[in-house]
Amino acid sequence: MAALMQKSALSRPACSTRSSRRAVVVRAAADRKLWAPGVVAPEYLKGELAGDYGWDPLGLGADPTALKWYRQSELQHARWAMLGVAGVLVQEIVKPDVYFYEAGLPQNLPEPFTNINMGGLLAWEFILMHWVEVRRWQDYKNFGSVNEDPIFKGNKVPNPEMGYPGGIFDPFGFSKGDFKELQTKEIKNGRLAMIAYMAFILQAQATGKGPLAALSAHLSNPFGNNILKNIGTCTVPHSVDVQGLTIPLTCLWPGSQ
């Protein structure tokens, strides 16, 4: 009997410890912000990544290697989308007479770029972007391996975290503050920008107008200019000829070209 009582007494702390650990885990899950109330995040999404709200319905991030690559891809797309959205809006404000869908045509470019060879420009863009992307891939495969400038040796970026080079890319020293909060703000704004840019494109294809012009038309006649009225309409031609180069086009919006 004495042995049983001693065994029972020894087992109590272990049970108490397990219960307390479970309580801590439950509290941590309750305190974490998720994409909807009451949802359970996948086990592999632990809230460590900025902007992680437990949303992965297709399970794309179940593989840790894939998850790391998807985060870098999302960052790149988010940053380009933020630049694109800002560019479209600024261009329409500064030159409202130029449709942003055609702003890149030679005749719509400012001097001295009106006579630029578009084929040569595309070739140089391909070469330079390919070089940058290869360097980014090398950093992904071997983090920190491309921190040093390949031409001007001795010049390096601190690169505290993959995708965040720092140094001259952080002239105001924001990364020295609450880095995680700034990362979260960036990815949230980037996700919104990706949705906005896609909306700009679909809207332009359906109406032939820029976002501000389309917004003005909608506000002037909400029932006559809206998404339902534009279904089945596409203003994009099958192709466009630029300096003898035929570029095929497609309409992402459901409609006939």
Q: Where are the domains of the chain?
A: 64-248
% pLDDT > 70, the chain: 87
What does the block give as tokens for 217?
A: 């038309």
Indicate whether 119 pLDDT > 50.
yes
**Which fold, 64-248?**
Chlorophyll a-b binding protein (1.10.3460)
The reported pLDDT for the residue numbered 26 is 41
Answer yes or no: is 74 a known binding residue: yes
What does the block give as tokens for 31?
A: 């305190």
Q: What is the pLDDT of residues 186-218, one digit of tens each?
A: 999 999 999 999 999 999 999 999 999 999 999
CA 218 to CA 209: how far, in whole Å? 11
What does the block give as tokens for 57?
A: 């319905």
Answer yes or no: is 80 a known binding residue: no
Torsion over CA: 86, 89, 94, 100 (sign): positive
Rounded mean pLDDT of 113-119?
Answer: 81
Answer yes or no: is 71 a known binding residue: no
Answer yes or no: is 185 a known binding residue: yes
Q: What are phi and psi of 243, to 5 degrees?
A: 50, 45
Q: What is the pLDDT of residues 56-67, one digit of tens each?
A: 999 999 999 999
User: Are residues 255 and 232 in contact, defined by beta-carbon separation less than 8 angstroms?
Assistant: yes
Answer yes or no: is 238 a known binding residue: no
Answer yes or no: is 21 a known binding residue: no
Answer yes or no: is 186 a known binding residue: yes
Answer yes or no: is 191 a known binding residue: yes
pTM: 0.80
The reported pLDDT for the residue numbered 257 is 56
